Amino acid sequence: MEYKPQKPTSPAIEPRIIIHGGAGNITPTSVTPELYRQFCNAILTIVSKADSFMRTPRKCDKPTNAPIAPNLPTALEVATYAVTLLENHPLFNSGHGAVFTRDGINELEASVMVSRGHDKRGVGVMGLRRVKNPILLAKTMLEMGDADLQPPPRSIGQDGLDVPSAQGHCQLFGKTAEKLAEQYGLEMGDPSYFFTQKRWDEHVRALEREKQGRGMGTWSAEEYLPQGTCGAVALDSQGVVCVATSTGGLTNKLTGRIGDTPSLGAGFWAEEWVERGDPTSPRGTGLSIWDEGPAVELSGALSGLLADCLPSLSLYTPLVSTEQNRRSCDMMTTRSVAVSGTGNGDSFLRTAAVRTVAAIARYGMVSSAEALRRVTGPKGELQLSAGSRWGKTGEGEGGMIGIESVVVRDMDGNIVNVRSEILQDYNCGGMFRGWVDEEKKPRARVWRGDEDIPREYL
């Protein structure tokens, strides 16, 4: 079905934003009250700035007859803007606050993906040592991809390495990626820019504990060693969802190690698909593309009688009416989801964790919130992947954030219903995250609920 821009009289798609700053062994034992407050204040500041940016119309050089009045930033612009703020803040494991490898080197990774609007859809960059904001390299590589995919290869200049453009590639590493960043005119930084004393001290302490046989260089039961990603997910007024991620990787990872952050499907994913009816409707009256209708309908009296005889029928859900079925058949739903993961990246890689969320939602015809819970919630696929090593090595630990957008249309393509949901779950000690709720209020959270926050942290 052709995608039509929404009309002014159609239900509006409300832009949304959620960010995260890492997950793992984040507990009152490993995070002091002062550090907790620093993280919460930083997250609230960043998500508030991103929300303000998202809702501020851009200046337009030309008059436009676009069907929507405000020329708001795209989901790609919003998500990458939020991540640049995370990259520039020394508290977070990306950009200026990135962790060190075992050799004392900062090697950065970033990625971005959209549900539609760009031919490559998703790209990842890795092994970066000089790009000040890796997320901007990923963003530009995605934007340039529309031309790069057209033959012959587009040339943007050569000097040293033969890098005429990103061409058809979705992932680039090290010096080639940095060469591309220079050709794009992005700001480069000396390796010393990424140094922070806090990260260096964590690096040294963890290696010393490892030498003493008191743990691993990449994870500790005694303190929170960053092993996660910074990221943002945004929904724009046209129903596009975008995920943007950036990280320094695992504390004391091997130099040259590639994690889930720049790997499509492992640490990030965005997707859009069309379904018959509205199978995830909160009212429970939608049909999926697989539904053919009931084989038989029981009368109320007969179903009640059988329920008395057969206990399993006590769970019987009344079938929707023929008229409701007909209305559902006359609708088509565009469902979009974007998800960003954070935690032990090797576990995300082994389980193709984030793409698995989208696949469960799409082919299992369940909400993306439920799909996300099955993968990254307590006792989900990520945790189970660690096996007997759970709680001993950091394996399987992690969390995810995301946004699901649902747009329901009639057979003429007119929007009849829109809804969206902020997604978040984790299986470990905690996850730094922030979002703007439906009442436009910025929220920051580390643990599950207010009842989990010790009094001295408030």
CB 176 within 8 A of CB 161: yes
Half-sphere exposure of 109 (CA within 13 A, CB side): 33
Q: Round to whole Å and give the CA distance between 2 and 19.
A: 32
Amino acid at 70: P
The per-type count for the chain, helices as H runs and strands as E runs, is 11, 12
What is the three-class DSSP state of 339? strand
DSSP summary character for residue 129: S
Q: Round to whole Å and give the CA distance between 16 and 20.
A: 14
* Sole residue written with tokens 């080639």: 176
Catalytic residue among 74, 101, 140, 229: 229
CB 180 within 8 A of CB 163: yes
Parallel/antiparallel/unpaired status of strands 122-128 and 171-173 = parallel
What the block records as the tokens of 362 is 């799409």
Q: How far is CA 339 from CA 171, 347, 403, 443, in A?
A: 19, 16, 7, 19
Q: How far is CA 142 from CA 81, 138, 149, 220, 260, in A?
A: 15, 6, 11, 37, 18
Amino acid at 354: V
Q: Round to whole Å and give the CA distance between 238 and 6.
A: 7
Which residues are bridge partners to 399 per DSSP?
342, 426
**Which phi and psi (to 5°) does residue 433 adopt?**
-155, 160
Half-sphere exposure of 128 (CA within 13 A, CB side): 39
What is the three-class DSSP state of 372? helix
Among 135, 126, 121, CA closest to 176: 126
196 is catalytic: no
Dihedral, 362, 364, 370, 372 alpha carbons, nearest 10 = -60
What is the three-class DSSP state of 205? helix
Query: What residues act catalytically?
Result: 229
